[in-house]
Amino acid sequence: MELTVEQTINWITRWVDYVKQNTDALNELDTAIGDGDHGTNLNRGTQAVKEAFANEKPTTIPMVYRTTAMALVSTIGGASGALIGTAFLTMARLTKEGETNLEVLLVEATESMKKRGRSDVGMKTLIDLWDPASKAFAKHELTYAKIDEAVEKTKEMKAAKGRSSYLRERSIGHIDPVAKSSSYLFIALLEELGQEK
């Protein structure tokens, strides 16, 4: 399926608003297995995205993704900014090359983050959300329940990447904060597409 420019902006803006509403909760999740700043960092980054849209409204889909990526990477330090920035940059590049199919874009964005982070499923990272969510979306089978399930599944995993991996076994029992914040992106997408809860 293809989104219009307007839908793409609305989708990302919904995500921005989710992050804002859940900043404290995301910080709490990151306090358990990281340095406690993920909500604050991502909120700063996503607010910068919203400002960038307001300053100069993107007129093409590649511009929407590129503006998003640049705002995120320039305002978020840490692993998650670079990785999510990579996802949006990949979508910007592919749409510029003429690939408009959102199913393909999300799967390729996930692959680009795996490469960038040298990570894969089961390592308790945002990949554990992006991979199942993008694949289910590609099969037109993504639901709100599946998104929640993917987030919950990170709880039982032992972190193998990033700061939380230093905790080894002690990382078990906590949700990955960036899997959670990425879940809002996919929830926002289903909402923008009018999928019933």
Residues forming the site for Mg ion (CB under 5 A)? 34-35, 37, 78
Residue 141: burial class (beta carbons within 10 Å; 0-12, 13-18, 19+): exposed
Token output for 53: 């849209």
Q: Which residues contact 11 (CB under 8 A, 6 or more apart)?
A: 3, 188, 189, 192
Q: Decide: is 162 part of the binding site for ligand ADP (CB under 6 A).
A: yes
62 binds ligand ADP (CB under 6 A): no
Residue choice 178, 185, 189, 190 for contact with ligand ADP (CB under 6 A) = 178
Q: Which of 23, 75, 119, 134 binds ligand ADP (CB under 6 A)?
A: 119
- Contacts of residue 156, Cβ cutoff 8 Å, sequence gap at least 6: 172, 173
Helices (H) and strands (E) in the chain, counts: 9, 0
**C-beta of 34 vs 58, nearer to ligand ADP:** 34
Q: Which is nearer to ligand ADP, 127 or 151 (CB)?
A: 127
Binding site for ligand ADP (CB under 6 A): 30, 34-35, 38, 41, 78-80, 83, 117-119, 125-127, 161-164, 176-178
